[in-house]
Structure 1
């Protein structure tokens, strides 16, 4: 064996890897490159240690490791390179370097190709980000106390696997809150704790649909619903939205009914429309007849700025085919990643065995802390403070829009939530405006990015968040945004 790379001096000095590691790497590379062919004998340990001026124990340790990893085989005659048949199909390194061809990219699944088109939410740390709550107003000390109490009271068993459906204390607290605050018909047994609202949507798809089924979504609408449906290999069809919410043509219920229908009835995302009572009742009736499931995504209904919150659609009628989805990302903070799904009584019993297999029950300490936070009254007090804060921030944003947007526009969605939508004329390219705004440090969304098929004339504008932006920032920020609009007007 005369490979010069094997017998050249090993690196020494400060910062150099150990001689054993260097020698092991040399042998591995020589074998993988084909310079040491299968069956060839490795140098004797004595010869190699004399040539490289290393201890025999170092060489023996290297040979032992090569054998352990499958690079070599030891027998009575010494140590030989193991037969590695797969190496014959690998390209050898040429003696003369030539530009290598790009390695073939594995074919991605249809789901991955579709999900790659998901809308970019931008840098959510920037001001005016839609849907971001006031993070600096969260009562972190009260939350820490809730965590401490939960941890102090918890037995050691809480560090193990929990109930797949979530901690009983939290499920009970959620059910009680929903009955009082949202008019939801439910008991704790119907509540499933999930990894945020997105986890709840994905669970709806897995439990109540099959690949190839049809799902209807609002258009413009929440991109996360499309993501969940695409990931489940569902055929997703967008339904227009007007001032009374989702518009579903009567004929579709007869000719091509959907298995799942995703709606945001209390505060349509992103237009802010409230689904009228007549349409709510019609949707429930039609879904019942067609054997469809309605996913009611109640993402930020707690923050209504005029009058009382609009009750959940789920509680309108008994035995309504409604899967109620909620989240604490807006009421608490996004990093908590706790959402929930309320199953109808009619569906729960059959779904529980599947849930026990699909879920494992995690984040137990966070769930117990949240249950404590709710039970102590801190959650309700925090919501009260945030309602007042967001009401004032929305007012300040409206005033800034009136002062700086001199072109024709329409402000939508003013009675609830954490964002306003500004509809613009066709001669303003909302995607270009959104990109320019982000470059200027403002993270407003393009209304057209929430739509899959709506005409530009009906779905062109900006979605502007006010939850995590202080009142004194709105005038200068919207002034900057107004300048971008004037610059980019066609």
Structure 2
């Protein structure tokens, strides 16, 4: 006897005469059924093997469609239970499916630069919104000091409502700029004036602003390969030519960058915890990179996205702290240290760049919301931020050790690397012939959240594997997640 889900899914028609890929047809069919209310929140889908059999498609095709719907939040996979329609769809007004055919003649005419950038963008999947194994980029939200945050929030609404609800300073709230400068001096060894600190709507906005300010079309940017997808897309949008510079155990290979593009205009690096390989840029490489930038009259964007969460006694000095010639633009974010929806980040400009950057901010930006800036300023000034960083540094170190303890069961198939900071690492396949895409597809369909290293690459690299997050997952998530990986490896043998 067919379940309700099985009966409804049988209404999906696959037309092999169309140019559209079968996996896309299946994805659109499932999406339309969910959006139109054919399946309600919490209802279970048939297993992908059953789905593939009933519709006459390969399991890989079914996995592709289901994985895409999971990434978009329409489906959710529960380890050991199956795949279900997301509870967020419960009670929603049904949406009438749009016509599949798009009138190309009515599509807007885009500029050549936009079309060029669009063709080069790396795909950005839906960013994570809930804790599970092995989500990356999401901090441990359950450990956030919500009571202190709520108290500070209420205080500002009571005492200075007009100030926090009106228009703000385009450069950032002065108190927050001063608090950030003080924090960076104490924790990251960066000596800067508050006037050098500019508050932005997240690190991604900082990359776009810096790129727009410094780069002309076609100018070369050294970019770590593999490297951060968001920054990559930001510089592509600015018309830059990205130069893939390899990363080894000491970080970005400066000599390789000089061989490929000695006339580079900008270098983008994540020296404290390389994204995604978790390497640390050695001191000799830091000095070589600064020297290369000075000789080329170039600048360096230092993305220190989770450098506060180092595991050793003392991290290597930031590039900004040892930059004596004003070459480094330091970028930080509160998305990792506090929470992502805050949408607050900052950049520290060289003193020589402050006047020009101030003019751009004043002319083109209205600033970010004042209320959260005021809360963060108090959070730092009253010592809560430093306490939270220490607490989370210990938490992530524990999660890192837990991950490695449970990773022993998959060692014949994957070598999980040790990280020195942050809340993600990578696992390399021991079999060089294993497909990243196939493995990630099956893992995500089984309820995990993994990405292949290849997604982060501008150019192919020798080793294959996956990026593994451990910060947001609890102990049960990590243990069960490793059990799932072990089963997937065992099935594939």
Is 2:99 the counterpart of 1:113? no
1:370 aligns with 2:376: yes
CA RMSD of aligned residues (A): 2.1
Q: What are the ranges of 5 or more consecutive residues in structure 2 without an aligned counterpart? A: 1-99
State the Cα distance separating 1:441 from its structure 2 match. Answer: 1.1
Q: Which runs of 5+ in 1 are unaligned?
A: 1-98
The residue number in structure 2 matching 1:483 is 487
Aligned residues: 388
Q: 2:206 aligns with which of 195, 200, 220?
A: 200
Q: Structure 2 vs 1, CA of residues 429 and 172 (structure 1 numbering), >3 Å: closer, same or farther?
A: same
Pick from 241, 262, 270 the counterpart of residue 264 of structure 1.
Answer: 270
User: Contact 2:273–2:279 (CA<8 Å) still a contact in 1?
Assistant: yes
1:10-66 per-position Cα deviation (integer Å, ceiling 9, x unaligned): xxxxxxxxxxxxxxxxxxxxxxxxxxxxxxxxxxxxxxxxxxxxxxxxxxxxxxxxx
Q: How does 1:341-352 map to 2 (within 5 A)?
A: 341-352=347-358
Task: Assess, with a 3 A threshold, how the Cα gap between structure 1 residues 267 and 399 changes in structure 2: closer, same or farther.
Answer: same
**In the alignment, which of 443, 454, 478 is matched to residue 474 of structure 1?**
478
Contact 1:124 1:443 in 2 (8 A): no
Q: Would you say the 8 A contact 1:215–1:237 is kept in 2?
A: yes
Contact 1:302 1:309 in 2 (8 A): no
Alignment correspondent of 2:242: 236
Between the aligned partners of 1:309 and 1:145, the Cα distance in structure 2 is 33
Q: 2:385 corresponds to which residue?
A: 379
Is 2:347 aligned against 1:336? no
The one-character-per-residue Cα deviations of 1:457-485 (angstroms, maximum 9, x if unpaired) are: 33x10111011101132222111012223
Partner of residue 417, structure 1: 422
The reply on whether 1:165 has 2:179 as its aligned counterpart is no
The alpha-carbon deviation at position 352 of structure 1 amounts to 1.6
Q: Aligned partners of 1:100 and 1:120: how far apart in 2?
A: 24
Query: Does the CA contact (< 8 Å) of 1:328 and 1:338 recur in 2?
Result: yes
Q: 1:271–1:413: 8 Å Cα contact kept in structure 2?
A: no
- Paired residue for 1:287, among 281, 290, 293? 293
| Cross-structure match for 2:410 | 405
Q: Is the 8 A contact 1:215 1:234 kept in 2?
A: yes
Q: Deviations over 1:233-288 (max 9, x none)?
A: 11111110000000133673696421111001111111111111111111111101
Is residue 254–residue 285 contact of structure 2 (8 Å, CA) maintained in 1? no
Aligned ranges 1:4-19 → 2 under 5 Å:
none
CA distance in 1, matches of 2:101, 2:241: 41
Deviation at 1:103, TM superposition (A): 4.0
Q: Give the TM-score normalised by the residue count of structure 2.
A: 0.75
- Partners in 2 of 1:103 and 1:414 — Cα distance? 48
Give yes or no for contact 1:325–1:340 (8 Å, CA) kept in 2: yes
For residues 255 and 101 of structure 1, do their structure 2 counterparts lie closer, same or farther at Cα, with a shift above 3 Å needed? closer
